[in-house]
Every structure is written in C-alpha cells, then in structure tokens.
Amino acid sequence: MRVLIVDDDEALRDLLARELTRSGHRVTQAASGAECLSRIREEEPDVALLDLMLPDEPGIEVLRRLRADRPSVEVVVLTAHGSIDTALAAMKLGAYDYLRKPCHLQELEITLDRAHERRRLGEQNARLKDVLSGSDGPELVGSGQPFEELRRLVAKVAASDSTALIRGETGTGKELIARSIHRLSARRDEPFVVVDCAALHENLLQSELFGHEQGAFTGASRRKHGLFEAADGGTVFLDEVADVSPAVQAALLRVLETSTFRHLGGTREVHVDVRLVAATNRALERLMDEGKFRRDLYFRLNAIHIEIPPLRQRRHDIPVLVEHFVSQHNARYGTRKRISPAATEVLVAYAWPGSVRQLRHVVERSAVLADSDVIEPADLPSEVHLAEAGPGLDAGHASGITLAELERRHIARVLDEVRGHRARAAQLLGISERNLYRKIHEYELEGDPRRDGEE
C-alpha cells in the first residue's frame, strides 16, 4: 500500500513512516498542505493520512481540494486540536475515517487497510461497470502478416473456453490481448478482473484472489470475498504470473482442476465458473528447472500459447500505431495534432525496449510538448534519437549492443527523469515496483540515493 503522511510534526511523521515501512507499506511524507497536493499529483498514493492542523492552511481545506483533484485517493484524518465536529465535517467531505492523536499503531494500520480496501473495491467496481456497459475497450492496432496472424489466433482462442498463456516482453500489450480475448468470448457481458501478481505479497495476494473469513489474520474484521468470486462467470487475468509463490501456485492449480477453493481461514468449498488467462515476460521453463514454478501448473496454464513479438520485430506497425495514438490524443484533448514524416522515420528507427507501451508514452509526451500542431523530430525525447547517434546504439540495426543493455539504459534514463522516484518510474515503464526493483538489482543500478525516491 502507498501511504502519504501529511503532518507538520517531523518526529511524528518519521515515527509513523518507520513503523508503516516496517509493515511493508511504501511511505512518503509531506509537511504542509501545498506539499501534500504536490505529492498527490506526482505519485497518487492509495491512502493519505492527513493532519487537520497544518502550518499553511487548514487541513479541512486541503481535504476539500484533494478530493476534488484526486477523488480515488482515500483519506484518513488525524485530529488532536480540533473537535469531533471538525472530524465529522471531514468525513462529510469524503474522508474515510478519523483518528485522534496519539493513536495506537495497530488501530492506525487496521484503519489504513480498510481505507485501502475501499479504494480497491471502488476501482474494481469501475472496471466491472465498464465491462457491463458494453464498452468495446481498447482495440488491436497493427498491420502486416504477423499481426494478422495474431489477430486470427486471438479470435480462435476467444471462441474456446480454454486457459491461455500470453508471453511477451514488457510493454508488448499482454493485457490488451487478454481483454480482446474476453471481449470476443461468450463471457463478454461478465466481469474481466485483472490481478497484478507482482504487486502483491503472498498473503495479500491469497486474500485478494480467494478472500478470507473474519479473524483469519490480524485486521480481518469481517468476511471478504475474493476476486475469483467477483469474476464468477467471467475472466480472471493473472499478470506477471511468474512471480506467484509456491503456495499460491498450488491454490491456483486446484482452482483450475476443480473450479473450487476455500477462503483463507475457511473450511467451506466455494465453486466458481471463471476462465483463466495468464501472462508473463519471464522464461517459465528456466523457473521450472530451478524449482520455482510448478510444471503441472505450467501445463494447465499453457493449454493455448500466445506469443507477442516485440515492437522492434514488427517495425511496419509503428506508423499505424503512431497515427492511432495521435488520434487518441486529439480525441481526448480536442486538439489537431499530426506527426511529420521525418518524426515518424525517427520513431521507426528506434529499437523500443519498452515496446508498444513506451511508444504510446513517447507519442503522448511529444504531442503535449509540441509548440505547433505538427510533431517534428525536435519534439521527440532524446532517447529515441539514439538510433541516429552511431553504430551500436540501436538494437534493431546493429549487433554492438544487447537488448538487455538497451533496457538497462532505458530504465536508468527513466529513473533519472523522475529523480530516482521508483514508484513513478515503475508507472512510466508500465511495470510493477517489484519488477522494477528486480531489474535495478539485475542491472546494478543501485547506489544513487535518489534511487530510493529521496529528494
């Protein structure tokens, strides 16, 4: 859980941050209302812990602006000086709950967990409403024979009810393929539920997937239904399935074989009718050889295999995708942007270690920053001009550099752009924070204090 602590008492902030970090939460701090709103816009935490007495403006006014600017962020207010009436007024403005200072750490953690749960359910309900509203969702965009073969394969997979395993590098569009399978299937009018396996620790992932009974663990104050129940009749998409622990792997295998599971702390069998689609960017064969991934689960997930080629292997799709992303930008902001042939040539020449997701971000950024209605090469970020800088810089045109080295440079560049803020970097890269941490360690990018998100 991402928690923002807003209080002008530095000692209290540090104490709470230390204890919450020890409990596995990612914590940032703000000492004033202005800093709070700036932090909210930069990283959008799950829950903000907001003191009602701040040095620059009343906390109640900060809450009012926060709820207007980022309504999805849950707020728990702290009060030591104000009356209960002030705290109740804060709840009327949308705060989830209030706590009196000083508060017990266990009470604080339980309240934060409940607030986070409400945010998660709100996001889940929004996704389910989008599915049930009949929205077609994102479309597959591309051209050429490889893409047409992929489109035909997706249609065939959608016509069946088999499990499917989607494999491809980060940013190739694995979730988009999964959504297309669901949208074209007989389950299209039922929920499509996404689970980011890499973003959740083992116990939390088990609770998210399978639910829990009251008293199953500390803080489990009531029974909670899991995502498999929420998706009953529809599709569950397990993203980054390679990061699932052995215990959760065993539970997933049981669901696939029997369509049943038990809540954490429960004894009653729960039956569900779901289709499972999984995705990974890692080599499951190597993980099986290392004993980190079950072979029986792999064979159950891999009933149908879908491989998405990276963007550097289908450069003919780049102009079509660029036009699509520019059109999306124009529709969203009411602009008339277009891209010049010269800028398109630069984009086609680049190797795109972040694949389609990186291309989309580059186009959106360039469309925003371009001074005129025409996006020229000068409007593109420096990273995409690497292919023009000389031999060995473009993995698509030279053999002097490996894809791993290109990815390492891209991650390092993004970390520098966000001043080492890992949560923001992971968001821009389109990967989970755990995945980013693993790559930082793998590419030996540690060492800069800014890498920990310090200013």
238 and 343: one domain?
Answer: no
Residues 6 or more apart from 62 whose CB is under 8 A from it? 6, 33, 36, 37, 50, 54
316 and 437: one domain?
Answer: yes
Within a domain: 225: yes
Within a domain: 316: yes
Instruction: Record the tokens describing residue 287, joined without a space.
Output: 């993980």
- The owner of tokens 């116990």 is 203
Does position 387 have pLDDT exceeding 70, yes or no?
Answer: no
| Mean pLDDT along residues 389-415 | 59
Within a domain: 263: yes
Domain boundary among 309, 327, 360: 309
Domain boundary among 289, 309, 329: 309
> Which has the higher per-residue pLDDT, 278 or 132?
278
229 and 318: one domain?
Answer: no
Cα–Cα distance between 291 and 79 in angstroms, integer? 51
Which of 6-15, 271-280, 396-405 is predicted with the least confidence, judged by mean pLDDT?
Answer: 396-405
255 and 316: one domain?
Answer: no
157 and 177: one domain?
Answer: yes
Within a domain: 133: no
Which CATH number belongs to the domain containing residue 43 in this structure? Answer: 3.40.50.2300
Q: How confident is the model at residue 116 (pLDDT cuts 50, 70, 90)?
A: confident
234 and 253: one domain?
Answer: yes
> Which pLDDT score, from 0 to 100, does residue 137 have?
44
In a 10 Å sphere around its CB, with 0-12 CB exposed, 13-18 middle and 19+ buried, how is residue 265 labelled? middle
151 and 207: one domain?
Answer: yes
Cα–Cα distance between 127 and 380 in angstroms, integer? 33
> Which pLDDT score, from 0 to 100, does residue 375 have?
93
334 and 385: one domain?
Answer: yes
Give yes or no for a contact between 337 and 330, defined as CB atoms under 8 angstroms apart. yes
Does position 46 have pLDDT exceeding 70, yes or no?
Answer: yes
Amino acid at the residue 156: K
Which CATH number belongs to the domain containing residue 398 in this structure? Answer: 1.10.8.60
Within a domain: 78: yes
Domain boundary among 275, 309, 343: 309
Does position 237 have pLDDT exceeding 90, yes or no?
Answer: yes
| Mean pLDDT along residues 316-327 | 89
Within a domain: 138: no
> Which pLDDT score, from 0 to 100, does residue 409 have?
78
pLDDT in tens, 140-190: 777 667 777 888 899 899 988 899 999 988 888 899 999 999 999 999 889
Q: Which domain holds residue 34?
A: 2-122
168 and 294: one domain?
Answer: yes
> Which pLDDT score, from 0 to 100, does residue 402 have?
61
> Which has the higher per-residue pLDDT, 381 or 435?
381
Within a domain: 326: yes
360 and 287: one domain?
Answer: no
Within a domain: 374: yes
Cα–Cα distance between 155 and 166 in angstroms, integer? 14
> Which has the higher per-residue pLDDT, 6 or 389?
6
> Which pLDDT score, from 0 to 100, does residue 374 have?
92
282 and 196: one domain?
Answer: yes
